[in-house]
Amino acid sequence: MSDYAQLILWLIPGAPLIAATVIALFGKLLLGGRSHVPCVAALAVAFAASLMLLVSIVPATFVESSGTGAEYIDEDGQTFVQIDSDTAVSPAKGAVATGYEWLDIGTLNLRIDLRADAIAAIMLAMVTGVSLLVAIFASGYMHGDPGYPRFFAAVSLFVFSMCMLVLAGNFLQLFIFWEAVGLCSYLLIGFWFKKPSAAAAAKKAFVINRIGDFGLITGIFLIWTTFGSTDFSKVLFDAAALARVNTEQPGMIQLICFLLFVGAMGKSAQFPLHVWLPDAMEGPTPVSALIHAATMVTAGVYLVARSTPLFVLAPQAQLFVAGIGAATALISALIALTQYDLKRVMAYSTVSQLGFMFMALGSAAAGREYATFAVMAAMFHLFTHAYFKALLFLASGSVMHSMGDVIDMRRFSGLRSVLPVTHWTFLCGALALAGFPLMAGFWSKDEILAALSNGIAHGQYKTFFTVIFGVAVLTALLTAFYTFRAYFMTFWGPEKFPEEALQPHGHGAHDDAHDHDHSHAPVVHAAASGHEMVHGDARPHDAPPPMAWPLRILAVCAVLIGFVGPAHLFGPYIENTPGLPDVTPHHMSLPLMLLSAIIASVGMGIAYQWYVKAPSIPEKLESGLRPLFKLSHGKFFFDELFTAILVAPLRVIAVCSSLFDKYILDGLVDSVGAIPRLMSQAPRRLHGGLTPAYAATMLIAVLGCVFCVMQLFAAN
Amino acid sequence: MIGFLIALMSLPLATAVLLMLFRASAGQNTARWMALLGTVVTLCVSVVAVAKYKEQLVGNASQPVQPRIVWRHTWLEFETEMVATDVALPDRVKLEFFLGADGVSLALIALTSLLSVSAVLISWESIKERAAEFYICLLVLQAGLIGVFCAFDLLLFYVFFEFTLIPLFFMVGLWGGAQRHYAAMKFFLYTLVGSLITLIGLAALVLTAIKAGVVTPFSIPDLSAWFADHPMGSRLQTILFLTLSAGFMVKVPLFPFHTWLPLAHVEAPTAGSVMLAGVLLKLGSYGFFRISLPIFRDACEQVGTPLIATLSVIGIVYGSFCALAQRDIKKLVAYSSVAHLGFCMLGLFALNAEGVTGSLLQMINHGLSTGALFLLVGMIYDRYHTRQLDDLGGLAKRLPMISVAMVFTTMASIGLPGLNGFVGEMLSLAGMFKLAPIYAVIGTSGVVLGAWYMLTMVQHGFFGPLKEPHDVHGPVSDMSPREACAFLPLAVMCLWIGVMPQSFIELMRPDIEAVTNLYHPPRILTSGPSLGNATHNSFVESQVQLERE
């Protein structure tokens, strides 16, 4: 690696880390309301570096390393980082930047190095790009919040961790930053820590993620004991080792894959560990857009895609992935149908779309040769989804901002004319999510359907994939419907604002007196950024420039980004990822495209019919199908179920152990301690303090002694 | 280097003696400044000693226990009067004054010195009565703890091991909470009973060594070298191992011998809790590492691992559940110690380099993070005179700096990567996973539970709407510079170990590998045509048989 490439690679996580440190140390004292400056600047640097990586550094390794593969790496695992770009070729098609030795004891060793290949470069460009836009948006959205520096420090730290996660060349390093992004998520969900709901949601997210991490770390331990290393180059890219393990320990790779996927289920909110993500919406909206829609939650998809060389050897695990993905997609789409909280609709939609990605990844069970296509489809959907979902969240945030922090769709409607920028950008995002033809989501969803149809056409799990395909089509229909339900409910119909939107809000919103209510930054901002709302000003205002421009840019992306691939740029690029099996050429399937177009249109049409033309229909349905509505509106009662079958019993166990400890274990100890006291009861009587008693005892004893001595002498 | 050792042991003691001399005239102020001076100087010396040691550290140890710094004098020499039966007994047996240090001891000494400074600083205001006596106890405790880590002689080890009880007994009994007398007595008697059983074990071990013909039967390095080549019979080993373990297990404390701990912690003054959790508990695991592992190889493998690992995983899960039910923050942290020490013992009895390294790191990490947690709980108690989660809430609003510190320490404690806790837990679990995955998997569930109870504590105590006890008068101020001085060094160490663990591992690595090589001999050393476990086991068995014959 040349120094130049090393520098670029280190800049990507390094710049946000520096920003995070600077803001954390000086934010409160010096930066104050300018705390976003270091963050935005660092993200811009990281984004530029990621683009350079994407277009020049990583592609340069594609040509160099053709045919070398993993054999290149030396036994001691040290040399692969010391590569001279002139003489040697980078191993396994990737750019590597050297770091430092983090751990080396026994057979466990880990160097913190940066390793970028095709799939990582795409992720990085997406992560830094979306983060940059979200940070700019947040500089407006969060303005005036007392935690302003804290917010940008945490966001910078998040981007650092996420980039390190993507740049990991080792499962352990991946795990380290996997948990680090979880920390940032915890800090940002609980950003408004005074709200009990936010504090609870933050804890819930962390603990549920820990359940997933439990699976992941166990899987990594298993990889370590099986392969003798956790390095990608010795596990994923070493075909010989994979083949050896596969023959020597059948079932082991299945188990590893299963455990890795448990980790992915936690982070990517897959059923049944999905319950944390909707609650995570307690965080500020930019956080929901960045962490809980575009980037962090896709880490699970990234992990599974990254581990494809393992997963292709474990078809059962892939079926499991597809099954869980399908279940998640369908269930969360059904829940999204009846939610009235705009952000929650988007949250469930995120869960559902992640399910789509996992379905695609699982479709590789059809056969080794379809794995690359499956990965490509999943990653492409991840890529497009990041843009349009970030857009939808930010637009929802903009609605919330204007509506005085009200997010219940029943309380406002007809915002089309009041919030033109928000309306148009939201529409772009909604069209993309619904899979309207030629929009970003259309292309990527189409690829997923194509991947699933591979599963129907080939391999030995045809029936299974027929069902999955059916679920996918149904979910796509539901997606189009609920997306436009939200759109029509918010932007169409009679103009209606909640009274909060019409209230003036001052800077005092964060004083102690307001601890109990939900008035937070967004509201304050309106006053702070020159959009003074005066009493009697009856019309809410649209997004100010720092919020509007990121929306516009993301809207353009949501419309156009689908054209980068999959067949032209994206597909051929990602095929260069090391470890992916050889590729069978793929083609656009016209019937499938037609099918997606029809599904999307039908879903949107129904939404239009029900929520614009005849708003009485949903009400009738609601009362007609009361139990079903309740089931969906109550989110299938997963939270209640888990509380009843898991949390409550564990709490009972906790109380029981505590009582057991106090009364039984410690009681035992105390009773042992009481033995000497009991035994002392008898001798105590001898020491009554009465002189005659002592005299009598002495006399008896002396007589006894004399007797004994005489006996002894007599015997001699 | 020997100078460092002597300085480390005598500095706290000298300060204590000075304090004792001027006790009558010295007020609270003089006493605390003198104590601070003494501990800070000791800390500086220990840091320099570690740095120097690391600089000079080359090569691997050739014996299972091999201190690099040695200060060894014959103390007593006596005739052996036992009747020789089958082996030739040495005529004279030496009792030595054997102090020394290797990387592990130096690391633990540095930890002790660091926590002592924090302990003095946190007692600054809160200890008003008999301040001079309090600091004397603290300094004597520090000297005793350093003594344990320096002792390479069974007798000295035992003397220091027991000696540490006395100052802590007074600290809990005199400056503790409402139930201090009961707590101090229970703590003292419980650990004493355990230690007395250990004493019997030690005596039996020494006698065995004399019988086997060891000239210096009290020296741990000599004993370990001897028994590595001439293993005892496995029954004898098991019995000795178990008797020695009694005191260590109580001290660790392993389930079910832990019930003295929550009580002692809750009643102890903050400085006492810091020293107790931070260093005193490590004496148990250190004893296992220093004496049991090198000397009782077969017993550790055959009895130690199944027994201790089982108790450890029970302790991890059970301790976590108990912690979850606590409403008193200090008690919660005390139960979390039971769980954390479970990880420590789990790693130790993995008997491989990964596990033992993890265990030793976990000792240091637990000292830092739990020490810091007790400091923070102490700060809150100083302000509100309560530690009940039911009385407190939303403190992040009132005490932002303490709350940030609390979240940070919580993250360190629950093993967030990038902070110290992760490295120790991960390595311990990895080591055990290599040996017996089932223990590691159950142990890993403790990581989930750990996040649950600690974050529940943070959620209830520090987030949400502000709730303070009603009887607090006057303004409550955030972390003072003095408190920051007590906390920050620990936080910096937490981060440093988390980000660059290898620099700490390097310090201890030769000593760890020297011990673990007993269990997993490096491949070059195992001779014979076949390699791996089979060879090793038969090798051990043949030696055992030889011994029996």
Alpha-carbon gap: B279 to the closest alpha carbon of chain A (Å): 24
Closest CA to A337 of A49, A607, A680: A607
Instruction: List the single residue in A with minimal CA-CA distance to B185.
Output: A673
> Cβ–Cβ of A654/B322 closer than 8 Å?
yes
- Residue B83's pLDDT is what? 54
DSSP state of B475: P
Q: Return the higher-pLDDT residue of A256 and A1.
A: A256
DSSP state of B73: E
Q: What is the pLDDT of residues A482-496, one digit of tens each?
A: 999 999 988 888 888
Q: Give the other-Cβ count within 10 Å of A504's Cβ.
A: 14
Query: What tokens does A599 get?
Result: 């599904």
Q: What is the pLDDT of residues A399-439, one digit of tens each?
A: 988 888 888 888 888 888 888 889 999 999 999 999 888 88
- Residue A520's pLDDT is what? 43
Alpha-carbon gap: B144 to the closest alpha carbon of chain A (Å): 27
Q: Which of B448, B502, B516 is closest, CB to CB, to A103?
A: B502
CB B494 within 8 A of CB B420: yes
Q: Are strands B92-101 and A108-116 parallel, antiparallel or unpaired?
A: unpaired
* Distance, CA of A585 to CA of A571 (rounded, Å): 10
A699 and chain B in contact, CB less than 8 A: no
Does the structure show a pLDDT above 90 at A49? yes
> Cβ–Cβ of A657/B321 closer than 8 Å?
yes
- Residue A537's pLDDT is what? 53
* Residue range A538-562: mean pLDDT, rounded: 85
* Distance, CA of A260 to CA of A301 (rounded, Å): 11
* Distance, CA of A563 to CA of A570 (rounded, Å): 9
For chain B, what is the domain count?
1
A336: left (phi over 0), alpha (psi -120 to 50) or beta: alpha
Q: Give the burial string for B371-401 (b: 16+ CB within 10 Å, else e).
A: bbbbbbbbbbbebbebbebebbbbbbbbbeb
User: Which positions ≥6 away from A605 have C-beta within 8 Å?
Assistant: none
- Residue B89's pLDDT is what? 64
- Res. A359 pLDDT band, cuts 50 70 90: very high
Residues of B in contact with A179 (CB under 8 A): 416-417, 422
CB B352 within 8 A of CB B293: no
> Cβ–Cβ of A105/B466 closer than 8 Å?
no
Residue A81, CA distances (Å) to A52, A55, A97, A169, B268 in order: 20, 22, 7, 11, 52
DSSP state of B388: B
Residues of B in contact with A105 (CB under 8 A): 353-354, 357, 427, 505, 509, 512
Residue A478, CA distances (Å) to A352, A433, A475, A607, B33 in order: 10, 11, 5, 10, 72
CB A175 within 8 A of CB A217: yes
CB B313 within 8 A of CB B443: yes
* SS3 (DSSP) at B181: helix
Hey, which residues does B181 pair with through a beta bridge? none
Place of tokens 């200890």: B127
CB A532 within 8 A of CB A411: no
Residue B419 host element (H or E): none
A710 and chain B in contact, CB less than 8 A: no
In the stretch 225-244 of chain A, residues with CB closer than 8 A to chain B read 225
- Residue A80's pLDDT is what? 42
The dihedrals phi and psi of A495, each to the nearest 5 degrees, come to -70, 125
Q: Which amino acid is at B233?
A: G
- Relative orientation angle of helices A521-528 and A118-141, to the nearest 10 degrees: 60
- Res. A504 pLDDT band, cuts 50 70 90: low
Size of interface A-B (CB pairs under 8 A): 149
Environment class of A377 (CB within 10 Å of its CB; exposed 0-12, middle 13-18, buried 19+): buried
Alpha-carbon gap: A362 to the closest alpha carbon of chain B (Å): 27
Q: What is the pLDDT of residues A623-668, one digit of tens each?
A: 888 888 888 888 888 888 888 888 899 999 999 999 998 888 888 8
> Cβ–Cβ of B321/A107 closer than 8 Å?
no
CB B348 within 8 A of CB B439: no
A25 and chain B in contact, CB less than 8 A: no
Closest CA to A550 of A353, A387, A381: A387
* Distance, CA of A513 to CA of A373 (rounded, Å): 56
* Residue range A177-185: mean pLDDT, rounded: 93
Q: Which amino acid is at B501?
A: P
> Cβ–Cβ of A180/B431 closer than 8 Å?
no
Q: Give the other-Cβ count within 10 Å of B135's Cβ.
A: 30
Alpha-carbon gap: A19 to the closest alpha carbon of chain B (Å): 18
Environment class of A700 (CB within 10 Å of its CB; exposed 0-12, middle 13-18, buried 19+): exposed
Residue A382 host element (H or E): helix A371-402
Residue A112 host element (H or E): strand A108-116
Q: What is the pLDDT of residues A288-309, one digit of tens each?
A: 988 888 889 999 999 999 999 9
In the stretch 53-92 of chain A, residues with CB closer than 8 A to chain B read none
* Distance, CA of A213 to CA of A207 (rounded, Å): 9
Does the structure show a pLDDT above 80 at A678? yes
Place of tokens 């142990």: B443
* Residue range A507-528: mean pLDDT, rounded: 39
> Cβ–Cβ of B431/A106 closer than 8 Å?
yes
Interface test with A, best of B326, B331, B433, B513 (most A CBs within 10 A): B433
Hey, which residues does A170 pair with through a beta bridge? A231
> Cβ–Cβ of B416/A175 closer than 8 Å?
no
* Distance, CA of B544 to CA of B536 (rounded, Å): 12
CA angle A444, A446, A451 (to 5 degrees): 95
Mean pLDDT taken over chain B: 86
- Res. A693 pLDDT band, cuts 50 70 90: confident
Residue A674, CA distances (Å) to B196, B258, B371 in order: 18, 18, 33
Query: What tokens does A555 get?
Result: 């809207």
> Cβ–Cβ of B448/A176 closer than 8 Å?
no
- Residue B518's pLDDT is what? 87
CA angle B308, B314, B319 (to 5 degrees): 120
- Where in A161-306 does DSSP place strands (E)? none
- Residue B548's pLDDT is what? 41
- Residue A587's pLDDT is what? 66
A24 and chain B in contact, CB less than 8 A: no
Q: Return the higher-pLDDT residue of B140 and A543.
A: B140
Alpha-carbon gap: B368 to the closest alpha carbon of chain A (Å): 20
Q: Which domain holds residue B473?
A: 2-548
* SS3 (DSSP) at A145: coil
Closest CA to B340 of B487, B267, B443: B443
Instruction: List the single residue in A with minimal CA-CA distance to B182.
Output: A670
A152: left (phi over 0), alpha (psi -120 to 50) or beta: alpha
Give the residues of chain B that fall short of pLDDT 50: 523-549
Q: What count of residues does chain B have? A: 549
In the stretch 266-305 of chain A, residues with CB closer than 8 A to chain B read none
Alpha-carbon gap: A193 to the closest alpha carbon of chain B (Å): 5
> Cβ–Cβ of A657/B462 closer than 8 Å?
no
Q: Which of B417, B440, B462 is closest, CB to CB, to A221?
A: B440
CB A577 within 8 A of CB A167: no
- Residue A258's pLDDT is what? 94
Residues of A in contact with B352 (CB under 8 A): 106
Q: Return the higher-pLDDT residue of A162 and A494.
A: A162
Environment class of B79 (CB within 10 Å of its CB; exposed 0-12, middle 13-18, buried 19+): exposed
Q: What is the pLDDT of residues B53-89, one digit of tens each?
A: 888 887 777 788 888 888 888 888 777 665 555 555 6
- Residue A716's pLDDT is what? 67
